[in-house]
Chain A
Amino acid sequence: MDEYLIRQATKDDIPFLVDTIIEAEKSGTTILTYTTIFGLSEIDARHYITKMLEEEIDGCELSVSGFILAEKEGDIAGAVGAWVEGSEGIPSNILKGNLLRCVLPSSCLQRAAGLNEVVRDLHLDYVSGTIQIGLVYVTPPARGKGMVPLLINSGINKLKAVYPDIKEAYIQVFGNNLPAIRAYEKTGFEVVIRKTASLKETGRFMPDICKVLMKKIIL
């Protein structure tokens, strides 16, 4: 794996980060919550995700500075987003909610307001003061080469250098994404919570009816 250059993302990487967010959100399915919850086409979702990333807000899953990339001969092979929950003094959910409010058109809000119960159905809280691994994506040609552990451990090490007292990292993944769960287990994570949807309609709007929380103890 040492032929891959690991580096922090910059604004120039936003197109790849948009791919990362879209593919990670789909969780191996064709269901994109930006479409099902906000009513956006995938093209429009890409446009608004780009605008949110361009705001460069630190401390949430839509922070350019939170992404680590693996690159080889100028081609990006994968990305992972990671942050310390609450590091900016505000929960990441609030920072993301502010971005959604200021960037998405009001029609999205009206639609989403009617689906709030569905979104809450699989919501899992982020633990303040811990490392959160947000969105993970590896391009198809780079899969099966140990890229996920490389990216996630790089993200953890980068944050650990700044916050040495942190002892836990968490990642949330949809239950259908077994390859991702296996890759996270190989990275040292173990399942701590499986949350299954209580509403019948949740499965129509989300990639799966089960959300899994995984935890890794950091030495």
Chain B
Amino acid sequence: MERKIVVEKLTGIFRRVFNSASLELRDDMTANDIENWDSLTHMILIAEIETAFKVKFKLKELNKMRNVGEMSDLLLQKIL
């Protein structure tokens, strides 16, 4: 899967979880940039991503992701 397709798929998940149809992802985007990105929403977001991409993150992997770009890169690694 190409990175562009990963980002498109991620965008759909983010829009659904954060209930924001116009949300556009950027690689440098963090939890500080999106309203309501709290601990429970993050837990739901990760679960949705794991289901959609059929992957399972380890805690150490999750704690290394500092922004959306790093999330996309890790997903690309895991699904290759």
Complex formed: what's the CA distance from A100 to B31 in Å?
A: 16
Overall SS of chain A's interface = helix
Residue contact A89 to B46, C-beta cutoff 8 Å: no
Q: How large is the interface on A (under 10, 10 to 19, 20 to 34, 35 or more residues)?
A: 20 to 34
Identify which of B58, B62, B63 gathers the most chain A CB atoms within 10 Å of its CB.
B63
Contacts of B46 in A (CB 8 A): 97-98, 101
**Is there a chain A Cβ closer than 8 Å to B20's Cβ?**
no
Cβ contacts B15-38/A at 8 Å (1 or 0 each): 000000000000000111000111
Chain A-chain B contacts (Cβ-Cβ < 8 Å), number: 76
**Is there a chain B Cβ closer than 8 Å to A95's Cβ?**
yes
**Is there a chain A Cβ closer than 8 Å to B79's Cβ?**
no
Q: Count how many chain B residues have C-beta atoms less than 8 Å from C-beta atoms of the other chain.
A: 22
Residue contact A91 to B32, C-beta cutoff 8 Å: yes
**Is there a chain A Cβ closer than 8 Å to B80's Cβ?**
no
Contacts of A88 in B (CB 8 A): 63
Pick the contact of A102: B37, B44, B62 (CB < 8 A).
B62
Contacts of B55 in A (CB 8 A): none
Residue of B nearest to A55 (CB): B59
- 11 residue pairs bridging A and B, Cβ less than 8 Å apart: A88-B63, A93-B39, A93-B42, A96-B42, A98-B43, A102-B57, A102-B59, A113-B44, A116-B41, A116-B44, A128-B32
Interface residues of B (CB under 8 A from A): 30-32, 36-47, 57-59, 62-63, 65-66
